[in-house]
Homo-oligomer: A and B are copies of this chain.
């Protein structure tokens, strides 16, 4: 990845890079899904986007200006559009439609934690809803501009909180301001020979505060842990005041406040900084691709590796359909040779896995040897480093490609969950069936791929990618029906409502069924305590739960 920061998100999509759709994928989409891949949809001009009237009372606007200064309270159309939606497929459909049902009345950019606190207090006093805004990359409606009957609605953008506040190199701890994006974090730590090691697909745009607020998980979660597992301390501003957790080793001084703040998705307050465990940059990296004869064989092997503590630092296993799509996207000859080789080795429907180990030379060598032996015992076939390195090179391009696909009239979305190993196969079958049944038509079969990219001793996540022909008449309804059907299946299987995307607004209808009404009541009691006026991110998480 680059040490510098990428340009801002396009207001209607991801970053400015244009990733073309590979010819092989175009063929697959045309032949199987029936998507009209020759029809190019256009995007309106920003100045033509229709926005609702601003409702913020004038006194409230003045109060905000007094706290952060007039320059940092924006209510122009661009500011409002850029804070009107996250980056789910439905968000992008709405943005591309050129007409938004709602948007914040204003966008406030506080310059420090004290200003954040002041804004929250002013909003609590003024009956003004606050949507905390980091990278704006939520795919579950986490930054949806829900007014919930309040007199006003602002987005509170933490983009000015973007410094490394402190580094304790001896203790491998760094305090990062909440608005820092992934590349800026890695650049700041890298200057000291350190790394955070958190690489979600949204790495280039998502922020530290967002990682914490949503319990994000990065691609190297096997080695570095989820973001919540690498978090040691935090400061959150709430309407009641600051909640601070000092960075200490795990302790027995009562329940964990940190674990109440993590995953709270802006409904309790605004995270202003996070103290994370950092590591020295690895001297050695070893990438390898292996192929399994089936997803079940691969999952079983990863389970054994996790349970024997032999996991690589990055591990990702694609199922048959995702492998097929990925091979179609790969450039010509190498992919054809690999396909033929694997068929000869008894894998006509291969499942590709990508692994990476890192560390110092001695321990990486030893770990690769022991893990490779386990892989061979499971019947996996090695494909060398090249396919793994290709995946690593393109690891952040998915959302760029989505923009290109949407421009071709393709429905493209992902969803994810997690469960224990003993229930993984049933869950995968059930969710896949729900998606296929919902999206299939007489003339069109969706492509539904799945991968497993976060592996634990007790289970794993499942990440589904869906490609289908977009229903031009009702593209939003088409996906919402499929999503509802898939989420019903997830909850019926007793699986996690989300592994790392979060709950946001989109998952709230299932939250009570997933975590239980008593858990919802406990966290509502916490919310009532810190945000009695109910201004923090209304309709998200427990606030929206039925």
Q: Interface on A for B, CB 8 Å cutoff?
A: 168, 170-173, 214-217, 226, 228-229, 232, 240-265, 277, 279-280, 303, 307-310, 359-360, 362-363, 366-367, 369-370, 373, 418-423, 454, 456-461, 494-503, 507, 511, 514-516, 518-519, 521-523, 525-526, 528-530, 541-542
Contact = CB atoms under 8 A, between A and B. Distances in A.
Nearest to A461: B249
Given A171-B422, A243-B522, A249-B420, A458 B232 contact: yes
Contacts of A241: 518
Given A253-B496, A261-B255, A496-B249, A242 B422 contact: no
B254 A515 contact: yes
B256 A279 contact: no
Given A254-B264, A458-B277, A249 B419 contact: yes
A153 B240 CA distance: 36
A458 B496 contact: no
Contacts of A503: 252-254
Contact of A420 (B248, B253, B359, B370): B248
A230 to B, nearest CB: 9
Contacts of A260: 255-256, 259-260, 522
A418 B249 contact: yes
A252 B264 CA distance: 10
A363 to B, nearest CB: 5
Contacts of A242: 518
A453 to B, nearest CB: 12
6 contacts: A214-B252, A243-B516, A252-B496, A362-B373, A525-B529, A526-B526
Contacts of A228: 250
B259 A265 contact: no
A420 B518 contact: no
Nearest to A514: B253
B525 A252 contact: no
Closest 8 CB pairs of A and B: A259-B259, A251-B496, A525-B529, A366-B366, A171-B420, A215-B252, A249-B459, A256-B259
A248 B518 contact: no
B250 A363 contact: no
Contacts of A245: 519
Nearest to A216: B252
A359 B308 contact: yes
Contact of A171 (B367, B459, B530): B459
Contact of A309 (B170, B217, B363, B502): B363
A369 B370 CA distance: 14
Contacts of A214: 252
Given A216-B252, A252-B216, A501-B252, A458 B173 contact: yes
A236 to B, nearest CB: 10
A521 B248 CA distance: 20
A215 B246 CA distance: 18
Given A458-B172, A528-B525, A251 B418 contact: yes
B251 A262 contact: no
Given A214-B252, A259-B260, 5 more contacts: A170-B420, A245-B519, A247-B458, A257-B515, A525-B529
